[in-house]
Structure formats: structure tokens, C-alpha cells
Structure 1
Amino acid sequence: MSDTTASLRHKIQSAGDLQSVVRTMKSLAASSIVQYEQSVLALGDYARTVELGLSVCFRGIGHADTAAGDVRGAEADVIGAIVFGSDQGLVGQFNDLVADHAVKTLERLTDPPKDRAGKQLRVWAVGERVQAPLTDAGLTLAGSFTVPSSVAAITALVGEILVATEAHQRQGELSALHLFYNRPSSAAVYTPVDQRLLPLDAPWRRSLAEAPWPTNNLPEVIGGDSGADSGTLRALIREHLFVSLFRACAESLASENASRLAAMQRADKNIEDLLETLNGTFHRLRQSGIDEELFDVIAGFEALAGSQRSAQGR
């Protein structure tokens, strides 16, 4: 069925309205990226302060094990995982990439030696859209969380995750806890990464204890309370866990909006090309209609002139 000028005009208007929506989403995604990236940058100084505090505490207790830092179920055969995805669509391969990276990494971590049974998994998903690729890969979810819609809402999500995981940690049911999320990348829009959050093992504590202090004034814990069960150490470890989860969530949200921005840019380009085609077709069809009307006028004029000449010849 051939298009008419009326139908083409309707298509052009619809495409223009859709382009307005796409450009609005582009603006929102771009502003959200800046918001989450700034939160990560602001968190950097605080994270550095927490690490310096942990460094002081670990210097005081040497390399002895600390109950506050290790998962009590270090010998347990359960690995926990938090996978950060999205609740909304229009993000390209964002959820598929992080889910695929998590599945492959967890398969490697749970691959048993010949003389041992394989480890079990307890997986939590952040975001509705990432749940499907995880379950399709055969993973059973222990729970799910809603993706925060702003920087201010990240704190509440981190609290929910800590409550859910610490319950299993206190019961000695976790041997490790990993975070899987997409991190903004300069080479590409984002890159899926894996961060082991727990246990806070001896090499990690040793690296902090041996790190050089930035000034010549060596600090010490107030009151000399620097043992493995000190309140100061436990508070700093809680802050370390909070910072790690907050940063992972913020970077995931920045990557999500970067992916959405890229998708909207492609959509905007496609709509621009469609509008160019529709406008060209509309103008050609309109010009064709004008030409036909002119030809009809000329033909009518010539027929009228011919009849008048015939009448005068009589």
C-alpha cells in the first residue's frame, strides 16, 4: 500500500515525538552518569581514610587472625555472590555481560579438586533484569534487591545487603563473598569485574600493615585498644565493607546509565535517518502531487483554448 502525504505526515510527527523522548532519556542518563561518578570520586578520600585506620590497627596486632575480619565459616563450602544488574531495560547487553562474567567466575571458584567435593553457592541479585540470565544459567537465587534510583538511596541498599549476608556469616555458612558488577571503562562503555569482599585474609591485612604512613607522625589507637576484638577495628572493618559495597553499586549505576546513553544515541541516530527518509519521501510525493495538479491545469487550459478557437473558426 502506497503512502499518502497524510500518512507520511503522521509518521513524521510520531518519529519526532519519539525522538523527543529519546533525547530526554539521553539527557537524564548523562546527568545520572555524572552524579554517580562524582559519588565514587567523593568516596575515594573516605575509603583512603578507612584504609589508613585499618593499617594502624593491623600494625598493633601484627599478622594474627582477626575475628572481625575473617568469615567465621572459612572452612565452609559455601561461596556467596552479589550480582549488580538493572531494574529497567534499554541498557543493551549490560545485564547479560555481568551475569555471564559472574557465572563463569563462580564455575571456576566452585570447580572442586579431585580429592574434594565442590563448593556450594548462595547468590543474591541486585536488579530484576539480571535475575533471568542468572537463573537461565542454572543458579538458584538466595534473594534479590531493588536497584536504587539515586545516590541517596544507595546507603539503604548497602544496609540491606549487609544484613542479609551477615546473618549467614555469623552462622558460619559463608567461606567467601564476591561482588560482580560493571565498572565504567575508558576503552569501552563498561567492563564486568569481580571483587572478593570477604574474607579479609592475611595477605590483605599484611599489605595494609606494611603500607608506608603518609607523614612522619605515626598514629596510634586511642587508649591502646588495638587488639583483634577491639571496637575500633570492628568499626573500621564495617566501614570498609560499606565503602566497598557503596562503590560497587555506584559504579554499576554509572555503567548502567552509560549503557543506556549509548543505546539512546544509537536510537537517536536511527530516528534521525528515518526522519530524513520520511521527509524526503514526503517532499517528493508532495511535489509529484503539485506537478500533477499543474499538468491538469495546463491540460484544461489548452482544452479550453482549443474549444474557443474552434468556436471562433465557425
Structure 2
Amino acid sequence: MDTLAHIQHKLVGAEDLKSVVRTMKAMAASKIGQYELAVESLSKYHHTISLGLFVYFRDKPGTQLDFKALPGAGKSPKECAVIFGSDQGLVGPFNDTLATFMSRYLTDLPGEKVVWVVGERMKSHLVDIDYEVTKSFPLPSVVESIASLISQLLVNGEELIENGSFDRIHVFHNKPNSGVGYTPVVQQLLPLDRQWKQGFLKQQWPTKLLPQIAGDAKLTLLALVHEYLFASLFKACAESLASENASRLISMQRAEKNISELLDDLNHQFHQLRQGLIDEELFDVISGFEALKK
């Protein structure tokens, strides 16, 4: 049976843990805001770039993209998957859900598969399900560090496509829901094929005044494509970080609730045991008094 000192020790430990959870909860809540703002800004920028590509392909429908990276007839494409996980724990099923989603998606694709990971925690999850991780990148801790990571990914990805090491690059990440939680999603980043081109031609210009291409058309296309790839990866990373902190916030809220219930239970035990000891002392005093009286 626990003593008063033992229960008091548990109470102090639970209070300290609750303080840590509150701090982590506040940090997660503050980070969500900056990543959600980045996602909103990138969504608008991404839409602007998409409109620019729409105008380009509308004016120059015969533009031929470089298809040398596409697999030849009868050959299975070589797939590269870039997956955004977390560097820290206390995020619930954040990594498990995404790793399972990626595994199911890649299982349906033929050919060789290689995985690049952003986030150390995700790397261990993928190793557990027998995926070989050929490249790993540290996860940015602030919005300002995302650009450096995206530049590394683009340089490595474009080199692989150009030299024929891989045919397609897919990006996997968790995307925040409009309400609570997140959903795993995938996007084919490279190559930029005919289907990618046709997707822009389905858009509509928001006004009746259509713009014209100014300057060198080829340089304009290269600039638009570069910004499209950069914005796509930046948005994926920001959405992943927003989802991670939302998941951590949910976990901390759940932990705070459990600790509060534990504290209530310990306080109840403490007061019950203390009252029992007081009652025993009173009974001893009364018994001694009765004995002396006789």
C-alpha cells in the first residue's frame, strides 16, 4: 500500500509533467500559426504561377516539353519517393499513417523504388517496414529554413531525372484538414509530362483581359517551371510541418487530460489515506483515554 510520502512524490512528478506538457502544447500552438500562414501564402503564389503557365501554354500550345526522362516502351519506370515526416516524437500516428499510405501507393507501381526521407523519426518507421532509405534530410525547425531544404531537394531531384537514374519523383506528406487532423497526400513532382501540361489548360483566367508573354519565351517558361517546382515542394513541407504540430497539439491535449485525471485520482488517494491515518490516531487516543478511565 502506498504511503503518504509516496503519493506526495507521485503528485509532484505529475505536476512537473503537466507543466512540461503545457509548455509543449503552447509551443505547438504557436508554430501552427506560422506554418498555416506560410501555406496560405504559398497557395496564393502557387495559383499565380499556375495562371502564368496557363497563359504560356495557351499562347504556345505546340510547346514540346523534354520527355527524355520518360521510360521507353516495355520498360518499368524507376520511382523515387520523397516523404516528409518528423524529427521529434509526441506526434501520435503522424509518421505511421503516412508511411502506411506511401507503402500502399508504391506497392501498386511497378519497377525499382527508392525513398528519400525528410525527418529522422520517419526514417526509422520506413526501415521497420523494409524500405531502404538512400537519402535523408533534416527537417526545418522554422519557416525561414524551408527554402534551403527545398533547394537541396530540387538540385538532387533534377540531377536524377536528367541522368536517367529515376523516371518519376513522387512527394508524400500530411496535409491539414479544414477542421481537425490531417490527411496523407501524394503528388508527382517530376517529370513534367503531357498530363501535367494539360492540367493548366483546363484553368480559366480570372478576368476578361488576357495577358501576353513579354521577353524571351523559353526563359519565361524555365522561370515559371522552376518557381512551380519550388512552390510545390515548399507548400508540401509547410503543410507537413503544420500537420505535425497540429498532431502534437492534439497529443498534448490528450496527455494534459490524462494527467489531470491522474492528479484527481492521486489527490483523492492522498486525502483518503490521510483521513484514514487521522482516524486511526483518534481511535488510539480514545482507546487510551477509555483505558485510563477504567
Task: Give the TM-score of the pair, scaled to structure 2.
Answer: 0.93
Q: CA deviation at 1:42?
A: 1.3
Give me the CA root mean square deviation.
1.7
- Which residue identity is paired with 1:295? F
**Could you report, residue by residue, the CA deviation over 1:195-254 in whole angstroms, capped at 9, with x for unpaired residues?**
11122222332232352222222211113x32xxx1111011010001110111111111
| Equivalent residue runs for 1:1-314 within 5 Å | 2-67=1-66, 72-75=68-71, 77-110=77-110, 119-186=111-178, 189-223=181-215, 225-226=216-217, 230-306=218-294
Residue identity over aligned pairs, in percent, reads: 50
State the 4+ residue runs in structure 1 displaced beyond 4 angstroms: none
3-state SS of the aligned residue for 1:53? helix
Q: CA deviation at 1:186?
A: 3.9
Q: Is the 8 A contact 2:34 2:143 kept in 1?
A: yes
Q: Is the 8 A contact 1:22 1:268 kept in 2?
A: yes
- Which residue identity is paired with 1:253? L
Query: In 1, distance between residues paired with 2:95 and 2:36?
Result: 20
Unmatched segments (≥5 aa) in structure 1? 111-118, 307-314
**Could you report, residue by residue, the CA deviation over 1:150-199 in whole angstroms, capped at 9, with x for unpaired residues?**
11111111111111111112212222111111111246511111111122
Q: Which residue of 2 aligns with 1:311?
A: none
Query: In 2, distance between residues paired with 1:139 and 1:64?
Result: 38
Q: Is the 8 A contact 1:74 1:174 kept in 2?
A: no
3-state SS of the aligned residue for 1:99? helix
Number of aligned positions between the proteins: 290
**Could you report, residue by residue, the CA deviation over 1:12-49 in whole angstroms, capped at 9, with x for unpaired residues?**
01101101111111111112122211110111221111
**Could you report, residue by residue, the CA deviation over 1:235-276 in whole angstroms, capped at 9, with x for unpaired residues?**
110100011101111111111111111211221111111111
- Higher-Rg structure is 1
- Which residue identity is paired with 2:190? L
Q: Is the 8 A contact 1:87 1:127 kept in 2?
A: yes
**Could you report, residue by residue, the CA deviation over 1:120-162 in whole angstroms, capped at 9, with x for unpaired residues?**
1221011111112323333222201111111111111111111
